[in-house]
Amino acid sequence: MSKIKIVLAVAAVGFVVALVAFNTANPATPEVKAWNTALAKGNPDTGKHFIMYTDVFCPYCDKFSNALHANAEDFAKEYIDSGKIYYEMRVTHINYLSGHSENSQTGGESAYCAARQDKFWPYYKAILSKLYDDYHSRGIGISKTAEKIPLLDNSYYYEAGETAQLDSETFRSCLENHETLDELTAATTKAQKILTGVPYFVFGDYKANGFDGNWDTTNDYRQAQLMLSAGL
């Protein structure tokens, strides 16, 4: 091998080593792409993308979300307003397809109908609060083995929509005509390629399936903070 070829080979090796060192010291910020930005809050440029795969009629999901709702001011200050996380909900109707809840399809459609009015978050809080007051607080629908929540008609969701101050006529039309069923189905199909049940959390390298809260929002919020710390 000529001296020129040797010099070029050494230079090439040196460049590769330098490039690896640079990429290790300066890891690329992962691209953040929400499935539906109306179901996300925070700054997408933060690079700390916290994803929760859920189902409106998943009690284990509801325990986690109720804890965040009960501590909304602290959660917003510590994680959202500070720019630590970009929080995204990916609503599915997995529990309907698995036979665990005959309500989760309509529940999921209603969530996306609210999102069309850019009011997913107030609606989500309203429907979970209503479910807690009417059923979960009485031990109904709190686990796979508990008494199931009965089949609910659309009026149940309309009441939650009123609490969330949705445009009632638009919301009713959306739900009655299944205007968001395709979006819900598409989200569920994509989610099923990643998970088999909900809740499922993805936060950087941290992943967790399930949530063991006990409907005590103080205790459950502490558990949620531990999960967030693991991702941060």
Per-residue tokens: 168: 């009632």
25 and 42 inside one domain: no
- Give the whole-angstrom CA distance, residue 188 versus residue 27: 31
* 16: containing domain: 1-29
The pLDDT, as a whole number, for residue 46 is 79
At position 45, the amino acid (one-letter code) is D
52 and 146 inside one domain: yes
At position 90, the amino acid (one-letter code) is R
Counting the structural domains of the chain, the total is 2
103 and 54 inside one domain: yes
What does the pLDDT profile of the chain (232 residues) look like in tens digits? 544 444 334 333 343 333 333 333 333 333 458 999 999 999 998 769 999 999 999 999 999 999 999 999 999 999 999 999 999 999 999 999 999 999 999 999 999 999 999 999 999 999 999 999 999 999 999 988 999 999 999 999 999 999 999 999 999 999 999 999 999 999 999 999 999 899 999 998 899 999 989 999 999 999 999 999 998 8
5 and 59 inside one domain: no
DSSP 47: S
DSSP 135: T
- Give the whole-angstrom CA distance, residue 78 versus residue 206: 19
90 φ/ψ angles, rounded to the nearest 5 degrees = -120, 100
The pLDDT, as a whole number, for residue 32 is 55
85 and 151 inside one domain: yes
109 and 127 inside one domain: yes
130 and 180 inside one domain: yes
At position 107, the amino acid (one-letter code) is G
* pTM assigned to the model: 0.84
The pLDDT, as a whole number, for residue 11 is 39
82 and 164 inside one domain: yes
Give the DSSP per-residue string, 92-128.
E-HHHHTTS-TTHHHHHHHHHHHHHTT-HHHHHHHHH
Residue with tokens 């991702």: 231
C-alpha dist (Å) from residue 145 to 111, 118, 167: 25, 35, 37
14 and 48 inside one domain: no
The pLDDT, as a whole number, for residue 21 is 37
155 and 41 inside one domain: yes
202 and 118 inside one domain: yes
C-alpha dist (Å) from residue 185 to 33, 229, 231: 19, 32, 28
b/e map 182-212, b = 16+ CB within 10 Å: ebbbebbeebeeebebbbbbbbeeeeeeebe
Residues 175-231 pLDDT 10s: 999 999 999 999 999 999 999 899 999 998 899 999 989 999 999 999 999 999 998
The pLDDT, as a whole number, for residue 14 is 40
- Give the whole-angstrom CA distance, residue 186 versus residue 109: 12
20 and 44 inside one domain: no
Q: For residue 41, what is the domain's CATH number?
A: 3.40.30.10
